[in-house]
Structure 1
Amino acid sequence: MKLKIVLLLLAQIALSQAIFAQMVIKSLKKGEQVPSELSLGKIVNYKSKNVKFSELKGKLVILDFWSTGCGPCIANLPDMENLQREFGDKIAIIPVTHEDSTLIANYFKRKKLGLPSIVNDSLLYGLFPHVGNPYEVWIDETGVVIATTDFGEVNSANISRYLLSKEHNLKNRSNGMFDPNIPLFVNGNGGEENQFVARSIFTNEIENLHWFADSHSVFDEKTKRNNINSYITLNSQLSYLFRECFWNAIKEPRLLCNLTRFFIEQNDKVIVPMADFSYYHSTTDSIDKLLGKEKHCYNLTLPGNGVSDSIFYNKYMLEDLNRYSSFNVRIEKKKLPSWVIINKNRQFNYLSTNLNNSNSKIIFDDNIEHSFVEEIVDIPFNQVIDFFKMYTLSPPMFNETGYNNEKIHLKNLHLKHGKSSVDDAIFQKMNLEEWRAAFQRNGLDIKVEDREVEVMVFKKKETPAK
């Protein structure tokens, strides 16, 4: 019987040690709970030789990691003792060191320090791993880690603020731990990720994330400048990324679906319009066929000062996309057949007399399939040109009428736009004669000239010979 009891006790001890070991292995982070049953280990200057964390519940606990070889730690101990005296039972400031109990007891006696200190510690260093002392861990009255800071944050003002409001604005300190096998800032490796100045991230498709794209700048009120520029897209094909890059680089982001500025440089140095490879009735099949339909996530963040939108896209983003794809892509200038919009008949007055924005609209032949654009009412001339340039195979267009922001009213256009009998006209090559006739009915005309415009040229990277 006695043997059974002994065996049961040994089993319980082994189980407790296993549970204890599991607790030690798992480090604690901000927002996580310190186990109430946790034994903090050996302690000097205390009512007992050991202390459990449950004895500290109901108090603001500040663990002060220190050592006798740390000058700032030693200089800070009297201040810690004064703070403990000032706030009494409301707080518990407990220095923590891995050094020997006899050494620390003698040191405290010599320096006339009355603070308790955890000694011979490995447990708390395991729970709160860090590099460099002093290192302060703040734990609230319920046992939740609320901050890790430098010793300068442990002062009367910060403690009072927390005790009165249960809120704080403590400046958190990184634990200084770094694993060279893990990228910087991933899962807190080396510190919080908000410390980066610039970064570029490229991943494969992430399941359960919907497509998303956004670009923004953050304005700094102090410097009156944008201090960060960021572009991000989730689960997008490379074709989308290159089109975003190009149209933003030349400051025409609305023309995302236009393919007439994209070219392929073949092995014989001949540059072929990508539009020649278009599938029937599709906006992007040609470029998707070239670049593949795999989806990716991409985020580029750069300091805003001195980084214009053009440089952001045509340098940094383009360099990234060239790095991550199997193409070398460049933006250059090339002469292309272009439509130049001019005045034809001054007897026609296409300028609008209505200055009320509420009446601006495009009138289609019906409200469902929008097969034809029939009328454009009270829209600025340049916006009208931009609207037509959004056609997938629209040639470059130039407005040389002398009117830019003036509103115009064009009638009797009857231009193919949406679904006709078999296809979507906005995806097809635009018929010059039809468009000229529509413009001439309104006192305008279209002439075709070679004009220099910016284009994007794709060249397949050479595969190294085996």
Structure 2
Amino acid sequence: MKVTNYKSRHNLLHFREIIKHLFFCLVIMLNGSLGIFAQENKAIDITTKGIQISQQVPDIIITNIHNYKTKTAKISDFKDKLLIIDFWATWCSPCVAMIPKMDSLQKAFGNKIQFLSATYQSEKEALPFLHKFEKQQKKHYDLPVVFGDKELHKLFPHTTLPHYVWVDQNGEVKAITEGKEVTEDNIRKMVSGSAEMTKKSDFKIAYDKNKPFLINGNGGDGTGLLYHSTLTRYIEGLELAGDFTLDSLNGRKISIRNANLAWLYQVAFSEKGAVFNEMNTVMEVDDVSKLTSSLSGKAYRDWLKAGNGFCYELIVPMSNMRESNKIMQQDLSRYFRQYSASIENRDENCLILKRTSSIDKIKSKGGKANIDLDRFGYHLNNITIGNLFYRLNFTQRTPLFLIDETGYNGKVDLTILASLPDISGVNKELEKYDLKIEEAKRKRNILVIKDNL
């Protein structure tokens, strides 16, 4: 039975690990010869560079605290309590999801514990977000938050969020964990003595994106290299990322690291202005789990390591730059012969933006071009509708693909205090501009990945 998956690629925020990893890479040189190389890469656990479990936390002064009785405090001010330091950021969805949970646990345990959230982001950047979040939740959270933190980050270095450090009543580090360990049961055990929890490790491997990949530990200096195509299995310590560069000296470079196979196909076919992601990719295969996964965190990394994660790099000279995407497509076709991929024009459900009158209520009054999008709404100043839709379709992600059929090509000013997928809420805001969103079928170019029978 065939399975069609419209939401294929999971957006990753975090992962770095430590291990020695033997891998094979396929290198195609100008003469078309094939080279197989084995190399050993070692990742380093960043958390081992800071205060360790069973060590005492220095009695540092913490500044710029919000939601606390004073703006500053010392670590010793929290003695006789279990102190749980929560490192977070506004862009980290799992971090934000933990706010209500931490607030409930704080109230449940009272003076026995103290959550202390710390972000490297400034008060100007993070505080408005918290106000919006509380407004959305219709609830105020009393958790103290440290803005623009440097000292705690120095003591407890890490690379992924959320990151939790558990300090007991005597100022000794008892655990360093992920968010899943922050439970009522673990807190109760830690307050009464100790709790066995999985230690969080953040691994990082040295990588210079400006040099060729996988030669002498990174790809060497690239001297004399005119063309290469490299494909490897998942590599410990490299983050999920992609780089796309073009210059007259080094030519065209596509570099994808620790990605699932669906993403490799999406990058390969995104050319001539087309961009493919889960919004316009269909997988008509018997086993979607070989192409993508909805797992997250360690479970997702384990899935990648189990043969589902890949690194790919292509460098071609300027004379071949227009062929780079076709070359990548051919590489995928050669190695992953069990699949075929192509672009098809199909009828798809979409969200269509239309005008409800001929009165122009959206024309920009000018000024600095700006676009501000978050979960609470959209604000545009002197920006085209096309710019907004591109961001929503390919960055923010919407329930259905957005198409502009207003016929309006000028720049606009819009303030919409609602966001998708709340279509009725967005339409209520659009009424003041004589605009409306409707669901309808439209012909669209779709990337289709199939089993190669």
Q: TM-score range by the shorter chain?
A: 0.3 to 0.5
Greater RCO (Cα-Cα under 8 Å, separation 6 or more): 2
